[in-house]
Structure 1
Amino acid sequence: MMELRLVQGSLLKKVIESIKDLVTDAKFDCTSTGFSLQAMDSSHVALVALLLRAEGFEHYRCDRNISMGMNLGNLSTVLKGADNDDIITLRADDDGDTVTFMFENPTDEDRITDFEMKLMDIDSEHLGIPEVEYDAIVRMPSAEFTKICKYFCSFGDTVVISVTKEGVKFSTSGDMGTGDRRYKQKNTVDKPEEATIIEMNKPVSLSFGLRYMNSFTKASSLSNTVTISLSSELPGLVEYKIAEMGYIRFYLAPKMIEDDERV
């Protein structure tokens, strides 16, 4: 038996909205420690990893490990039935083929919505993602990162992220010309969400598909800050913390010159 009660129902809605255009079908895993997801996009260029720890739920019961395959477009449609301040409860039997969503309005106890959604059989392998040391880590306001990606999409298909001792630079080029935006280290004690923090072991410069980066920024509604981790031999990592209960991480393979037509 699985039963998860999330007081901040809007949080689950934001998570699904941030990934449903990137991943069509995904398998959610529920264990005694948390509720998670790991899925690749159809082109196998980007990987999404989600974790919501058990401690972040008001009530969390998972008698044994359960995997639930869902179409994220359908799940988004179901969650539209919940208001942003609704409490969302998920229930599923150990060997069942459905999951039930219950939406409760905290100010109107007479209004309760139930929806039973059919689960899918999804054959996907859970990848072991190792913890690694990155060449450079940039923490910055998520609104700024969103602004850069959206703006640059008007000019080119690729964003180059370069980290040096001078700071971090985002650049792009296209038929119209070239452009870049630079950020220097900025500590703001009074407003840490506005800080730009750069940790660099060695300089790094990598190119990424803007279409993917722009898609990742849909998760900016979950956090005021974003962390971008880069290494020359590894996929780039874009991470948004989810309150105190977990994270959503996007891994993206860097573009090579010969990949320009593919990505």
Structure 2
Amino acid sequence: MNDESDGKHGVQSLEIGMGILRAMVNGQRSMMLKEIAAAADMPASKAHRYLVSLIRAGLVEQDPMSSRYDLGPFAMNIGLVALDRLDRVRLGLNVIAEMRDEINQTTALAVWGDKGPVIVRWERPRRPITVNVITGTVLDMLSSATGRVFAAWLPKKTVAPLIAAEIKAGDVPPDLKTKAGVEAMLAEVRRDGFATTNGFHRVPGVEAVAAPVFNFKNEITMTVLVVGVQGMFDVSADSEAVTSLKRHAEALSLRLGMHGEPKVPT
């Protein structure tokens, strides 16, 4: 069997295991072995073998007193992460739409991807001259406002390789060509609670400002940003755009369960 054919067939044992988990989820309570086997439509001996593996993986746990099975800590974690990701994006989309209506500028939402910050959605304003943002665009760490925000609050081990690569390539603002310069900029972003491109954007004539959104762990989970035409777009700290941006980012953070101060990266 070739790789393509094998990929189409999938892994049967994994599908059976997922069937057991589905039966437990649908049961909506802890269950005995015979109940799980009946719900999954398989012999109890077979269900037991799968349950042993699922327990080892943390997806299932068994109460030693009652012998009942229930979802394990890893299954709970998967559910919480999935809920967090679903809610944050949905709520974020609402926020950038509200911001667009409020300040009549291009707004966008970005999350952290494998290669850096990624634009997941943007909203077009009602004005004759606008800046379009392409969904799926991966942003630079040092020449984008969003990249600077993520760099300011993500763990250093996560962002350091990307920052080092950009500095080595040389296409960065003059004051960010050294580690000391970068650290000073990130400290300023953490102090102000937002970042701008300060006239140095990868696309000439574009200016952007971004603010962090934190989750219930007080960790950055995404950014909201505003993009406009340089010279026609005020990104000073007390401007309408920045004031609106920070207010919406803070409200969304509270909605996602943030409490206390943001976690400072180490």
TM-score range, shorter chain: under 0.3
TM-score for the superposition, normalised by structure 1 = 0.24
User: Which is richer in strand?
Assistant: 1
User: Bigger relative contact order, structure 1 or 2, given CA contacts below 8 A and separation 6+?
Assistant: 1
User: Which is richer in helix?
Assistant: 2
Rg bigger for which structure? 2
TM-score for the superposition, normalised by structure 2 = 0.24
